[in-house]
């Protein structure tokens, strides 16, 4: 039966030769109707692509100084020009795969007929495809149809590997046409850049680096022979997984080089005695995603990826386009932020995250300079790692606590309710005449919303708004919320920067990142309705909703930018594989509140560290800079927050339970915070200590800039009081 099959293959190849000849003489006839005009056009297009379209490349993410931090790729490939590849590599490949490569015009008829005859007699089919034909096949598999998650690509890959005369016919004709458009040198170089080795390594440049730690130019004969032998079956000939098979194949390549007069027999025998020489432990290549940025910078890399995808970049394009993505990451600031976060909470503490996000204020851009956490970035939870975008995404389901009083204060100032030096009511207990609540512990059975201050805290009958922002009485801000109106308060939060956080409905988010990202695209109007009688809306000022630490940092940056909001951007510049700048769509900066309001609000927030809740944390590092600040503690100590800023840098620190948000956080001193049933965590503790610990070092040696001047318009609105 095998002999009969071989005879039919031989007859088919004879027909193939005739069709090819006719196709070259009458390209639109395609050999007596065997190939249609449409098929001919497909061949023409494919050969054109082979000559001009580059393969998938690695995209590189760098810090602000242009130093790489991560590689994003589907195929690990290092583009390599012909003069960057050793002659040994070229001759090893030609010797084993196509010794008449420089003699034929795309199809080695002599080798093809010999292989067919050998097959008909039960032999092997070596020599059946020229290097040019193999280039065509590898290009279709590794470039045109590289994406295994695309059904069309899967079908295309299957067709490109079919053992049929039709496929051989198309492949051969493309090879013949290709050789009219590309030189032998270009075809060989193209093949060596496209071909697959093992373990997601493509092209000789990447293989040389990953297998031997050298450049393709430095490959010696032994190394070249190993790599040339592998292209026949990369998986079966993997030198780490199947060293004996790889060595046997390498030695066959050496024999072929001797036959092709590119190596002496004496040298071949000497090299055969050598070990494979690959790097121990497996190939040396970067991780294929943000894990490669390491435990320190991985969170920043993840935000860069998320930011680009939300800006409209296709993920496959990002991972194959060969982009250079220069970010705004400040390595030193990120390192200090990470050290401070981990000094307060051990990364090994289960279900406790401590994060710090830092943003640079400005009226033209808000550059993200650091995204850090006590946890390491990575997939191994047993080592204190996580791939949650802890500092940047909406993952704090416990809420921002009293940091949301910033929005109530700003709305009250905007609506003419109170200036920063006006006194506002601050009773220890308050039943709202405006807001209703379906269920509450404070006033059981009472349909109206009830609120109390922190246990043991008393503020007298009234307090200035500035002092209220420093010492944080709950009742005062619910009363302000009633007077300013729910709509202006929520709108202020949105304007100052809580865009995605408000979209995260406040009811908790799905546990997986993809579903979570879908949930946070919900319209904010369906979450916080600006209707004063909407159930539970009175608690908004106490920050019960899920939030992003990065967005809260950007709120502080907006205030310190005179009321100009800009998206918190991690991107400095993106260039394509040719060095051409790629424009990343970003929302434009926008004035969201008057500068006078922003400056006066900043002054209103300037006492938290000198007589407010963060005084102790500030004193612990000898802080003596003008700044804004606000602590926040969520209900039942589920999460705690500190947000603050100087004119140079804004940031928010948050401690929360990322995996299971129910329950509280217990504080027993720096470095010892754990998840518990009834918590005692406060924003003035771990979050504030994290913020001041990092910022005091990051800003060391920098000027101590003053607060902006307040506007009389927003200082007092109630006359003498």
Q: What is the 3-state secondary structure (H, E, C) of 91-111?
A: HHHHHHHCCCCCCCCCCCHHH
Average pLDDT in the 540-563 region? 95
pLDDT(603) > 90: yes
Residue 650, classed as helix, strand or coil, is strand
- What was the pLDDT predicted at 503? 76
Residue 27, classed as helix, strand or coil, is coil
Question: Which range (92-101, 164-173, 239-248, 412-421) has the least confidence?
Answer: 164-173
- What was the pLDDT predicted at 125? 41
> Largest Cα–Cα distance in the chain?
109
Contacts of 231 (CB under 8 A, 6+ apart): 93, 97, 134, 195, 196, 197
Q: How far apart are CA 399 and CA 404, in angstroms?
A: 9
- What was the pLDDT predicted at 682? 95
| Confidence at 589, pLDDT banded by 50, 70, 90 | very high
Question: Which range (85-99, 284-298, 511-525) has the least confidence?
Answer: 511-525
pLDDT digit string (tens) for 636-684? Answer: 899 999 999 999 999 999 999 998 778 999 999 888 999 998 899 999 9
Q: DSSP string spanning 147-205?
A: -TT-HHHHHHHHHHT--SHHHHHHHHHHHHHHHHHS-HHHHHHHHHHH-B-STTBBSHH
Q: Choose among 550, 519, 496: nearest CA to 300.
A: 550
Q: Choose among 259, 129, 261: nearest CA to 195.
A: 129
Average pLDDT in the 690-714 region? 97
Domains of the chain: 2-35+82-272 (1.10.3810.10), 337-715 (3.40.710.10)
pLDDT digit string (tens) for 552-587? Answer: 999 999 999 999 999 999 999 999 999 999 999 999
Q: How far apart are CA 684 and CA 692, in angstroms?
A: 11
Encoded tokens for 97: 């795969």
Average pLDDT in the 265-285 region? 96
* Rg for the chain, CA atoms, rounded: 33
Average pLDDT in the 434-450 region? 72
Choice between 443 and 74, residue whose per-residue pLDDT is larger: 74
Q: How far apart are CA 715 and CA 712, in angstroms?
A: 5
Strands 571-575 and 639-645: unpaired
Dihedral in degrees, nearest 10, Cα atoms 357, 358, 362, 365: -60
Average pLDDT in the 291-320 region? 96
- What was the pLDDT predicted at 596? 98
**231-258 burial string, b = 16+ CB within 10 Å, else e?**
beebeebbbbebeeebbebbbbbbbbbb
Q: Choose among 484, 466, 421: nearest CA to 715.
A: 421
Encoded tokens for 413: 């100032």
Q: Choose among 53, 56, 28, 55: nearest CA to 42.
A: 28
Q: How far apart are CA 661 and CA 276, in angstroms?
A: 53
Rounded percentage of the chain residues whose pLDDT exceeds 70: 83
pLDDT(278) > 80: yes
- What was the pLDDT predicted at 140? 87
Q: How far apart are CA 114 and CA 99, in angstroms?
A: 14
Strands 564-565 and 590-591: antiparallel
Contacts of 662 (CB under 8 A, 6+ apart): 638
- What was the pLDDT predicted at 442? 67
Dihedral in degrees, nearest 10, Cα atoms 659, 664, 668, 672: 0
Encoded tokens for 18: 């005739």
| Confidence at 49, pLDDT banded by 50, 70, 90 | low
Average pLDDT in the 432-458 region? 76
The answer to whether residues 67 and 329 touch, using CB atoms and an 8 Å cutoff, is no
Phi-psi region of 248 (alpha: psi -120 to 50; beta: other; left: phi over 0): alpha
Q: How far apart are CA 19 and CA 40, in angstroms?
A: 12
Q: Choose among 258, 319, 321: nearest CA to 288.
A: 319
Q: How far apart are CA 49 and CA 405, in angstroms?
A: 59
- What was the pLDDT predicted at 604? 98
pLDDT digit string (tens) for 321-356? Answer: 999 999 999 999 999 999 999 999 999 999 999 999
C-alpha angle 262-263-269 in degrees, rounded to nearest 5: 155
| Confidence at 52, pLDDT banded by 50, 70, 90 | low
Question: Distance between alpha carbon 671 and the CA centroid of its chain, in Å?
Answer: 29
Q: Choose among 673, 654, 651, 675: nearest CA to 664.
A: 675
pLDDT(6) > 70: no
Q: How far apart are CA 116 and CA 108, in angstroms?
A: 12
- What was the pLDDT predicted at 719? 67
- What was the pLDDT predicted at 544? 86
């Amino acid at each position: 039966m095998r002999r009969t099959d071989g005879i039919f293959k031989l007859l088919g190849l004879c027909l193939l030769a005739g069709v090819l000849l006719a196709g070259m003489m009458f390209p639109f006839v395609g050999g007596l109707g065997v190939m249609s005009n449409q098929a001919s056009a497909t061949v023409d297009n494919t050969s054109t692509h082979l000559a001009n379209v580059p393969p998938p490349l690695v995209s590189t993410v760098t810090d602000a100084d242009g130093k790489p931090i991560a590689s994003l790729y589907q195929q690990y490939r290092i583009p390599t020009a012909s003069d960057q590849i050793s002659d040994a590599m070229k001759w090893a490949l030609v010797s084993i795969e196509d010794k008449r490569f420089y003699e034929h015009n795309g199809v080695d008829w002599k080798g093809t007929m010999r292989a067919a005859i050998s097959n008909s007699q039960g032999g092997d089919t070596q020599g059946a495809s020229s290097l040019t034909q193999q280039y065509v096949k590898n290009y279709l598999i590794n470039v045109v149809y590289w994406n295994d998650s695309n059904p069309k690509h899967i079908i295309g890959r299957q067709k490109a590997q079919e053992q049929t005369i039709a496929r051989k016919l198309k492949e051969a004709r493309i090879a013949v046409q290709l050789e009219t458009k590309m030189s032998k040198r270009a075809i060989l170089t193209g093949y060596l850049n496209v071909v697959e080795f093992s373990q997601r390594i493509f092209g000789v440049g990447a293989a040389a680096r990953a297998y031997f730690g050298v450049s393709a130019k430095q490959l010696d004969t032994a190394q070249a022979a190993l790599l040339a032998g592998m292209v026949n079956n990369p998986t079966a000939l993997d030198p780490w997984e199947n060293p004996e098979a790889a060595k046997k194949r390498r030695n066959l390549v050496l024999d072929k080089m001797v036959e092709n007069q590119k190596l002496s027999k004496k040298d071949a025998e000497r090299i055969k005695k050598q070990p494979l020489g690959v790097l121990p432990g497996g190939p040396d290549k970067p991780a294929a995603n943000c894990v490669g940025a390491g435990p320190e910078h991985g969170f920043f890399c993840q935000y860069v990826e998320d930011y680009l995808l939300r800006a409209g970049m296709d993920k496959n394009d990002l991972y194959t386009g060969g982009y250079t993505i220069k970010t705004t990451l400040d390595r030193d600031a990120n390192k200090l932020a990470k050290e401070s976060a981990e000094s307060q909470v051990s990364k090994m503490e289960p279900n406790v995250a401590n994060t710090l996000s830092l943003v640079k204020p400005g009226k033209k851009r808000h550059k993200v300079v650091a995204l850090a956490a006590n946890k390491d970035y990575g997939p191994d939870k047993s080592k204190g790692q996580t791939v949650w975008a802890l500092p940047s995404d909406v993952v704090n389901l416990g809420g921002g606590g009293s940091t949301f009083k910033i929005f109530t204060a700003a709305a009250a100032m905007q609506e003419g309710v109170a200036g920063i030096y006006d006194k506002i009511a601050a009773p220890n207990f308050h039943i709202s005449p405006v807001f209703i609540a379906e269920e509450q512990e404070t006033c059981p059975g009472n349909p109206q919303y009830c609120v109390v201050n922190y246990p043991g805290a008393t503020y007298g009958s009234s307090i200035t708004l500035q002092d209220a922002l420093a010492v944080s009485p709950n009742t005062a801000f619910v009363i302000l919320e009633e007077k300013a109106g729910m709509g202006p308060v929520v709108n202020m939060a949105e304007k100052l920067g809580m865009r995605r956080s408000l979209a995260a409905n406040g009811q908790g988010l799905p546990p997986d990142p993809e579903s979570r990202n879908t949930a946070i695209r919900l319209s904010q109007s369906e979450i916080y309705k600006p209707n004063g009688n909407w159930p539970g809306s009175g608690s908004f000022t106490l920050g019960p909703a899920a939030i992003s630490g990065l967005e809260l940092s950007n709120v502080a940056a907006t205030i310190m930018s005179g009321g100009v909001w800009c998206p918190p951007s991690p991107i400095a510049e993106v260039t394509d594989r040719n060095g051409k700048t790629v424009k990343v769509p970003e929302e434009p900066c926008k004035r969201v509140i008057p500068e006078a309001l922003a400056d006066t609000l900043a002054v209103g927030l300037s006492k938290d560290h000198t007589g407010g809740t963060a005084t102790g944390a500030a004193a612990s590092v000898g802080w003596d800079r003008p700044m804004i600040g606000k602590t926040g503690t969520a209900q039942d100590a589920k999460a705690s927050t500190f947000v603050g800023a100087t004119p140079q840098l804004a940031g928010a620190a948050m401690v929360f339970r990322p995996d299971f948000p129910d329950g509280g956080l217990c504080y027993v001193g720096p470095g010892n915070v754990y998840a518990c049933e009834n918590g005692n965590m406060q924003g003035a503790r771990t979050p504030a200590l994290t913020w001041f610990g990092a910022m005091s070092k990051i800003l060391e040696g920098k000027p101590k800039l003053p607060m902006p001047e307040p506007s009389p318009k927003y200082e007092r609105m109630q006359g003498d009081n």
